[in-house]
Chains A and B, each alone.
Chain A
């Protein structure tokens, strides 16, 4: 037996023979228990672990930083208030992501009803957002950097263009890298529907990108792995 300091004042005894998944589950349980006891470190830990992923997920689903910020606040408010009723049927991350997806869905419906025709002021200054730069490759040439940046924008544009239902499944799968089971739990749909939405979302995205890059032909996005390793991917005409 050995003791793993989880966060601050509480710790978790883990058996060395436990798998990583079991360790993660125990870690979640310890965090939940600490939250139920209202330990300050637990709140800090929860925010540190999940505020960025939830914010990114909400941003991808809503495509608006201000709305994503509102959703994140709602999500954590619900998490903190309902932590006593968390039964542990799913992982903590799945539970929080589910709340985030539902809140994003509600937000999108609210926006659809109340903000038709409005234009956000943030859009007037593209590039002045709070996005962190992706992993910086010091060997990247300005040309590669520009092309990669263009490709990222194009991909985000494509994600924003596809149906919200497909986008949610695709983001959870490809960006958040969740399993089919977790996505099914988060979206509260069957596994078959998850796979169907992911396949259709991928196809919709592929078609959108193909039309944007080369309207007359097919998708020609190819990785420039030989030139710049795994980072090097660009648009080839």
Chain B
């Protein structure tokens, strides 16, 4: 029989103590339902190893004393208090079990699963309506009421194609402020006048089939020279522009 030293004996003392005291005899018999214990003692040490430890303990007082300590601790472990499951926890576990069983049943039955999903979707829709649809409907009705109250004060002009309306906010034509005091004795003419950003006439031409005579051209130049213009405006800034003017004669009878 192999002799053991103290170190190797003490490593195995716990299992030796368990086997010697028969702590797990019930488990070794396979009393599974009673304690649901493992096969602690079933895997006990070999007999030769057991005998070697016996021999060592007979000779070594320190190890024998250590065995007493180990046996004491093992007894302590065996009699540690068993904590009872609190009633509240037990109830929660029952609830968990019930809920999980329902889930499992739903998994096993596709029709029931589908019904459950539809019911869940409807419930979610109902829950969605409560916080959103009621306030939303109220908001829309309130908006309609307020719009109806102010609708008659609004000036709405529909845009029609071909309308000669000018977007005055963007561009304004040049205008004649004062007409020259000198009269023009020629025939009726139509002029195309170019006015620069400072309101000065920079060019003009006569739109008629027959070319004007030099006298007519000079008389019209004098007329334009002594007239004052306001330049055209684009985006609030004066710009150069062209415009047509018609000169007509009126005969006033005395």
Chain A interface (Cβ within 8 Å of chain B)? 19-21, 23-24, 27, 35-38, 40, 43-44, 46-47, 49, 51-53, 55-56, 59, 65, 68-69, 72-73, 76-77, 80-81, 93, 129-135, 148, 151-152, 155-156, 174-180, 182, 198-199, 202, 205-206, 209, 218-223, 230-231, 233
Contacts and interface: CB of A to CB of B under 8 A. Distances in A.
A157 to B, nearest CB: 12
Interface in B76-99: 76-77, 79-86, 88-90, 92-94, 96-98
Contacts of B98: 43
B38 interface: yes
B86 A65 contact: yes
A24 B37 CA distance: 11
B93 A51 contact: yes
Interface in B90-115: 90, 92-94, 96-98, 100-101, 103-105, 108
B92 A73 contact: yes
Nearest to A92: B36
A202 to B, nearest CB: 6
A179 B89 contact: no
B100 to A, nearest CB: 4
A135 B80 CA distance: 10
Interface string B53-95: 0000000000000001101111111011111111011101110
Given A76-B96, A80-B100, A152-B80, A179 B85 contact: no
SS class of chain B's interface: helix, strand, loop or mixed? helix
B127 interface: no
B29 interface: yes
B245 interface: no
Interface string B218-233: 0000000000000000
Contact of A80 (B11, B38, B96): B96
SS class of chain A's interface: helix, strand, loop or mixed? helix
A24 B30 CA distance: 9
Given A69-B89, A131-B83, A177 B24 contact: yes
**B contact residues, range:** 35 or more
Contact of B75 (A77, A180, A218, A233): A233
Shortest Cβ-Cβ A-B pairs, 5 listed: A20-B30, A80-B100, A38-B104, A221-B72, A43-B97
A63 to B, nearest CB: 11
Interface in B38-55: 38-40, 42-43
A231 B11 CA distance: 25
Contacts of A182: 38
Contact of A233 (B32, B79, B83): B79
Contacts of B97: 43-44, 46-47, 76, 80
